[in-house]
A and B are shown apart, each in its own frame.
Chain A
Amino acid sequence: MSVLENVKLALSSLRSHKMRSVLTMLGIIIGVGSVMAIVAIGQAGEETLKSQIAGTEHTVELLNMPDEGDLQHNATPVTDPFTEEDIRTIEQIPEVTEVVATSSEFSNVRFHEEVLGASVKGINQAHIQVHGMEAAEGRLLQAADFLGAGNHAMISAVVRDDLFADTSPIGEIMYINSSPVKVVGVLTEQEGLMDLGETEVFLSRNTWRNVFSKRNINQVTLKADSADDLQVAGTKAASLLNQTHGTENEYQVVNMDEIMTGIGQVTRVMTIVIGSVAGVSLLVGGIGVMNIMLVSVTERTREIGIRMSLGATRGQILTQFLIESVTLTVIGGLIGISLGQASAILVSQLAGWTVQVSLPVMFGGLIFSMFIGILFGIIPANKASQLDPIASLRYE
């Protein structure tokens, strides 16, 4: 008796008890569906998180991390982690396409009577492109602003809202550290999980130096054309800086890959934990299948006896009932997969995440449903196959 015929037989027997089959399936639908939804939502969340962190593609940050021993023994603290000279050295590395050098200082910003504490950043032109800055109002800082010292500033939306309540900020003069700067543009808010609306003011590096009378650079980010180039550029830059400053391992590269892997691990653990809870409902669904199959075997004792008298082997009876339970769980599984994916898509869209339809996960869900059918069908099927033909024929 072929598998196809067994499936047809199973379908007709499931059809003969529609209500019961649907209710039994419901357990599997809910179980598979919730596991599917959680895995898919977890994946979508992970991808979104990663893409936001890696939003500045092919960039790597250089860090200055003096080890604790040095800090304790050296009386003179390291004040300038990066110098203008360092930036020029790094720009010479062939793999480096852009160097973003940023100075930052937390300072009060004043407009008329309003005062606001903001992170004031001195940036170079590369910053604008690498970080994908866009102007919501006015304009961005331009080449002329970076070459001269036009005392021009770009502000974040938060600064605009807090400082310029009624007026348009464009063209207005505000004071940072007693120095006047003219607002030329308001930046668009960066969309995403990680940006919670920063209070930031951006100046050109020249302006920043004039305002704060300081030259130090706090943050250096490199950009390269490919991930491989980036690796090379980062390593070269770090060793060049260590060489010129006569330090060992004080300059390091922040490895985005490691951060990504870390995030991946966290979201995966969360998915597994929540998924396991959903898995419990699948277990309950499976037990429901076993229960109904045991009832079905008892009800069909006579049928089993008749089939045996007509020459069915115990193996064929076992197969018949096993395929019936697998058919039940696979149909339930398919519905569950569809519903799970649908709810994952819904949740992702509400959260503004990238929708993920993962074929391997769906296929895995199908295989898993099949496995549930076998796991919980084997006991009833075995019971059916072990029946005594004579007693079964006499069963009323």
Chain B
Amino acid sequence: MIQLQSISKSYPVGRNVTEVLKDIDLIIQQSEFAAIMGPSGSGKTTLMNIIGCLDHATSGSYYLNEKLVTGYSEKEVAHIRNRDIGFVFQQFHLLPRLSALQNVELPMIYAGIRKKERRQKARDALHQVGLSDYAVYAPNELSGGQKQRVAIARAIVNQPDLILADEPTGALDTTTGKQVMAHFKQLNKEGTTIIVVTHEPGIAGYADRVITIQDGLLLDGNDIGRSRETLT
């Protein structure tokens, strides 16, 4: 499903050029649950952004569902983000002026789905994360865990093949963090590919495969289908 071939990313910092990712080769199969681990500054978020089509690699090729995304236009890339990928962020990134339901509707607005259908699908998605009763609540009326579940509902509402989560439990306490991870586990069982970026080993523990990155280099976990039992 995801195939990175010698992906590099570098930023100009002052006069120097910082290489964030160095020649990354990575394959992630359909329906995998992978965790990308590494200390802060290791390049794990940049890697996720490239996989999520939010960022472009400086060099290398990226295939998503056998299609070369690297040369896609801005519009095509936006389309992929809309249809094929769902994002979950550490800071939830809900729009504060919209209700939970309206937040979940957002990706469908950009997918051009009609209002009635949108409403129904958004309710279904909220039901799936157990927040049916909170549809009209504004984000600031919800707890951290509830916000993140709204974000998950928003990520899954267009039924993407891939969900990318960047430190999804980073702003949550352990108990709610566990609940959120349980949602991911459930989605993965239903066939969705999940990639979680984290620096907490406990969270990485939910994944079937742990990819470790340090100083822009893949250290470990690049063998396809390596199970978490062998790691621990």
Contact = CB atoms under 8 A, between A and B. Distances in A.
B232 to A, nearest CB: 33
A303 interface: yes
A13 B115 CA distance: 20
Interface in A371-396: 389-390, 393
A13 B79 CA distance: 25
B75, B93, B112 pick with most chain A CB within 10 angstroms: B93
A313 B95 contact: no
B75 A315 contact: yes
Interface string A290-310: 000000000000110111111
B136 to A, nearest CB: 15
B82 interface: yes
Interface of A: 1, 5, 12-13, 16, 302-303, 305-316, 389-390, 393
A309 B106 CA distance: 11
B83 interface: yes
Interface string B61-73: 0000000000000
A310 B55 CA distance: 14
B15 interface: no
A306 B109 contact: no
8 contacts: A310-B106, A311-B81, A311-B158, A312-B82, A314-B78, A315-B75, A389-B54, A393-B54
Contact of B87 (A16, A303, A310, A315): A310
B132 interface: no
B54 A311 contact: no
Contacts of B111: 311
B116 interface: no
A68 to B, nearest CB: 77
Given A1-B109, A309-B93, A390-B49, A314 B87 contact: no
B110 interface: yes
Given A311-B79, A311-B83, A313-B75, A393 B55 contact: no
Nearest to A300: B95
Given A389-B54, A390-B54, A311 B93 contact: no
B29 to A, nearest CB: 24
Given A1-B109, A308-B54, 8 more contacts: A1-B112, A302-B93, A305-B93, A309-B52, A310-B82, A311-B78, A314-B74, A314-B75
Contact of A310 (B49, B75, B107, B115): B107
What are the nearest 8 A-B pairs in CB distance?
A: A311-B82, A313-B78, A311-B110, A310-B107, A311-B81, A306-B93, A389-B54, A313-B75
Interface string B87-108: 1010001110100000000110
A16 B98 CA distance: 11
A315 B110 CA distance: 11
B121 interface: no
Contacts of A315: 75
B55 A390 contact: yes
Contact of A311 (B55, B94, B107): B107
Contacts of B49: 390
Contacts of A302: 93
B149 interface: no
A110 B154 CA distance: 100
A390 B93 CA distance: 12
Contacts of A16: 97
Contacts of A308: 54, 78, 81
Contacts of B154: 310
Contacts of B93: 302, 305-306, 309, 393
Nearest to B46: A390
A5 B97 CA distance: 15
- Among B54, B78, B154, B158, the most chain A Cβ lie within 10 Å of the Cβ of B78
B109 A13 contact: no
Contacts of B55: 390
Contacts of A307: 106, 110
B81 A309 contact: yes
B54 A309 contact: yes
A214 B220 CA distance: 126
A52 B91 CA distance: 74
Contacts of B78: 308, 311-314
A18 to B, nearest CB: 13
B78 to A, nearest CB: 4
A389 B89 CA distance: 13
Nearest to B87: A309
Nearest to B110: A311
B200 to A, nearest CB: 20
Nearest to B107: A310
B81 A310 contact: yes
Nearest to A5: B109
A13 B102 CA distance: 14
Q: Which of A12, A308, A313 has the most CB of B within 10 A?
A: A313
Nearest to A15: B97
Nearest to B49: A390
B75 A306 contact: no
